[in-house]
Amino acid sequence: MEKQTDTSASSYAGKRAHLAMVFFVLLAAGLFVWRPDNLYLWIKALHIVAVISWMAGLFYLPRLFIYHADAEPGSVQSETFKVMEHRLLRIIMNPAMMLTWIFGLYLAWSVHGFQGGWLHAKIGLVVALTAVHIFFGRAVRVFARDGNRHSARYWRFMNEAPTLLMIVIVILVVVKPF
Ligand code: HEM
């Protein structure tokens, strides 16, 4: 009963996230057709929205792993974590990561012509962030078959990776130290 309630709540959240994504993609497509003078600023705004959504997932998913690692395989809690992890990855994180890349590469090409030490360093660190995303995605599949062998402490430690990368990435793009 408890599981059913949680699944339907998560399915409602999934529908809302789909609607938000459709709105977001339509807005982006409309901007490319309309081509306002300040298109760069519009794309930067969309880039930041996508970044926030991606980072929210990268922070929350390992928190779910921390509690999931201590849940009894086959228990209601464990099955609920599986649904939450799967939906977070598929509905929020994967699309947000793709949109962050698309808008980020547009910004890098349109005004900066892919030039600048800060930009190269930033792209390098975003590649590392993407590797963390793929690693977490694999962990979702391992948890789904009750195959996780790592402790909650391990996941607490892994939780810090996206935080550290994000801090350096934001300093690079705002301060542009080199
Ligand atoms: C996916 C690859 C990415 C590329 C190619 C990229 C590239 C860019 C570029 C070229 C700008 C415009 C900078 C300017 O003209 O001042 C920008 C803005 C920004 N990016 Fe990214 N970015 C990427 C991912 C990310 C990620 C992962 C984060 C955060 C963790 C991030 C955070 C920001 C922020 C906060 C701004 C606004 C900076 C400002 O206006 O001062 N970006 N990005």
pLDDT tens, residue by residue, 12-69: 666 777 788 888 888 888 988 888 889 999 999 999 999 999 999 999 999 999 999 9
47 appears as a binding residue in the annotation: yes
Nearest to 142 by CA among 128, 130, 154, 129: 154
Number of domains in the chain: 1
Q: Which pLDDT does position 112 carry in this prediction? A: 96
* pLDDT reading at 94 higher than 80: yes
Convert the pLDDT of each residue in 98-129 to its tens digit.
999 999 999 999 999 999 999 999 999 999 99
* Cβ(57) – ligand 1 distance below 6 Å: no
Cα(149) to ligand 1 centroid in Å equals: 36
Burial of 16 (0-12, 13-18, 19+ CB in 10 A): exposed
Longest dimension (CA), the chain: 57
**Residue 158 belongs to domain spanning:** 2-175
ipTM, 2 dp: 0.93
* pLDDT reading at 5 higher than 50: no
Paired tokens of 14: 């999934």
Q: Which pLDDT does position 25 carry in this prediction? A: 84
